[in-house]
Chain A
């Protein structure tokens, strides 16, 4: 069985969040003799899984990468421990500015070939070769998330049946989840789709769970009560408009104002725009500013419609999916935290009341 057949049989999909079938991507890579970039940037907010894979499974990772390409570049955020580890191992390291969009597939390829680490406009899949913003042809490049490469090496060693013994039939294989926020044991957990989100929360030592954020800036929110009872899989999260995505789980307790947290993250997103597409340059800062005023309790009730309208204008209009992700994140927050939104529009805050109640 060839490697591609093994991956197809295993049903491995990209662990960077996009869930694209890896076998299909590798078939295109072989056809175009593509080089490989192993993406170990952990670009998503709240994920540390790539760091863990590099720290604890570098030999397997190198083996997996060697199966797929002769030339391998190792992308890591500049100044990170992961970068230091890769350099120490004597690997070809692509030092990526620690920016949210800089580790996007096409941004890495652009950066590798001397361009800026900003996403490119795509006319074809990056694996088939791309065109730089200056009109230069860039060689075919396969970009895979570090966890994906590790899984490839595991499938080659243990076989597709071993891989399929984890997870669900539709979402097979082990998955790394990073749990953070108000939990006693934050960190990376090796689990699989189909596990109860409540079990994950319990494992990480979450006690007071007001809300759970999934997949960082590219995901959205669940209220605590819902989160305890929900199964962590794309199929079960879909009714809530959510995905497992990048595998980040962030816990907020009752003392934290969720709108405050959402406004801070959206404000961060506004500063991460690569300044190339209108919706990202102006749209994301515009909704960040409104969410900020909502968190402050100074947004006028008649502006809420405009906020929703602006959020609706973001998706599908950028060179990359960054604005789509932020729009989904903001829309989910406005939907999930409806009670908090109403309290803030009336000049109050549920979490602040909770805090003062707790101190009394």
Chain B
């Protein structure tokens, strides 16, 4: 059924756009130079809601890909990375990305019940998830549609810019923490 195929591709592209937006909001949150009014609170709320919204688009994207009969992708291949015979690497990357996202969502929902450290470690995996998802998007499906491909590449460019901003910017809080840690505390 071609409707499912189109639905799968559309939700895939929407997912990568939303995912990039969520990642950028997260980067902005962790690297905010200073908090002005309730800007941080708002950003945090949007970051969380948008992440959950992205997950629903992803579920539709994966479900339609499985149900659609144009190519064969099993349930196992959709959950276990690199278990598919069809486009083993790029499809596996997509699966990997989804698994990481699922782990991030679950640990975030349980954040007040688990240790801060565990949450942080899992949350940092988003820096793996995003490029993996991007690669999956570029390598699969969007080849014959420039508008889809350029959307994905555009997401990559904007996301990288956000990461560069985060890595190059110095934050007075973390630099003071580092400065104090260099003193004798042991």
Cβ-based interface call for B115 (8 A) = yes
Contacts of B181 in A (CB 8 A): 275
Output the least CB separation between B41 and chain A (Å).
Answer: 17
Cβ-based interface call for B112 (8 A) = no
Q: Identify the stretch in B23-31, B54-62, B153-161, B172-180 within 8 Å (CB) of chain A at 4 or more residues.
A: B172-180
Using known A-B contacts A275-B177, A281-B177, A282-B176, determine if residue A97 contacts B116 with beta carbons closer than 8 Å. no
Contacts of A117 in B (CB 8 A): 185-186
Contact of A274 among B115, B118, B185 (CB under 8 A): B185
Using known A-B contacts A97-B185, A102-B185, A117-B186, determine if residue A135 contacts B180 with beta carbons closer than 8 Å. no
Which residues 127-186 in B have Cβ within 8 Å of A in the complex?
A: 172-173, 176-177, 179-181, 183-186
Contacts of B186 in A (CB 8 A): 97, 111, 116-117
B176 contacts A97, C-beta separation under 8 Å: no
Number of interface residues of A (CB under 8 A): 16
Output the least CB separation between B181 and chain A (Å).
Answer: 6
CA of A273 to CA of B177, assembled, Å: 10
Cβ-based interface call for B117 (8 A) = yes
Contacts of B115 in A (CB 8 A): 135
Using known A-B contacts A117-B185, A117-B186, A118-B185, determine if residue A274 contacts B180 with beta carbons closer than 8 Å. yes
Contacts of B118 in A (CB 8 A): 135
- Name B183's closest neighbour in chain A (CB-CB): A99
Question: How many pairs of A and B residues are in contact by the CB < 8 Å rule?
Answer: 34
CA of A274 to CA of B181, assembled, Å: 8
Contact of B184 among A99, A135, A281 (CB under 8 A): A99
Output the least CB separation between A111 and chain B (Å).
Answer: 8
Number of interface residues of B (CB under 8 A): 15
Using known A-B contacts A135-B115, A135-B116, A135-B117, determine if residue A116 contacts B176 with beta carbons closer than 8 Å. no
A275 contacts B116, C-beta separation under 8 Å: no
- Name B184's closest neighbour in chain A (CB-CB): A97
B185 contacts A281, C-beta separation under 8 Å: no
CA of A116 to CA of B184, assembled, Å: 9
Which residues 267-282 in A have Cβ within 8 Å of B in the complex?
A: 273-276, 278, 281-282
Contacts of B177 in A (CB 8 A): 275-276, 281
Contacts of B180 in A (CB 8 A): 273-275, 281
Cβ-based interface call for A70 (8 A) = no
Cβ-based interface call for A134 (8 A) = yes
Output the least CB separation between A132 and chain B (Å).
Answer: 10
CA of A273 to CA of B173, assembled, Å: 13
Contacts of A134 in B (CB 8 A): 117
Output the least CB separation between A76 and chain B (Å).
Answer: 15
Output the least CB separation between A236 and chain B (Å).
Answer: 38
Output the least CB separation between B34 and chain A (Å).
Answer: 11
- Name A271's closest neighbour in chain B (CB-CB): B183
CA of A263 to CA of B177, assembled, Å: 23
Output the least CB separation between A278 and chain B (Å).
Answer: 8
CA of A282 to CA of B180, assembled, Å: 12
Contacts of A135 in B (CB 8 A): 115-118
Output the least CB separation between B32 and chain A (Å).
Answer: 14
- Name A107's closest neighbour in chain B (CB-CB): B185
Using known A-B contacts A97-B186, A117-B185, determine if residue A275 contacts B117 with beta carbons closer than 8 Å. no
> When each residue 16-53 of chain B gets 1 if its CB lies under 8 Å from chain A and 0 otherwise, what string results?
00000000000000000000000000000000000000
Contacts of A118 in B (CB 8 A): 185
* Of A99, A274, A275, A282, most B-chain CB atoms within 10 Å: A275
Using known A-B contacts A97-B185, A99-B184, A118-B185, determine if residue A281 contacts B117 with beta carbons closer than 8 Å. no
- Name B178's closest neighbour in chain A (CB-CB): A275
A281 contacts B176, C-beta separation under 8 Å: yes
Using known A-B contacts A134-B117, A135-B115, A135-B116, determine if residue A275 contacts B176 with beta carbons closer than 8 Å. yes
Contacts of B183 in A (CB 8 A): 99
> When each residue 244-285 of chain A gets 1 if its CB lies under 8 Å from chain B and 0 otherwise, what string results?
000000000000000000000000000001111010011000
Closest 7 A/B residue pairs (Cβ): A275-B180, A135-B115, A116-B185, A97-B184, A275-B177, A135-B117, A281-B176
> Can you give 27 contacting A-B residue pairs, CB < 8 Å?
A97-B185, A97-B186, A99-B183, A99-B184, A99-B185, A102-B185, A116-B186, A117-B185, A118-B185, A134-B117, A135-B115, A135-B116, A135-B118, A273-B180, A274-B180, A275-B177, A275-B179, A275-B180, A275-B181, A276-B177, A278-B173, A281-B173, A281-B176, A281-B177, A281-B180, A282-B172, A282-B176
Q: Which residues of B contact A (CB under 8 A)?
A: 115-118, 172-173, 176-177, 179-181, 183-186
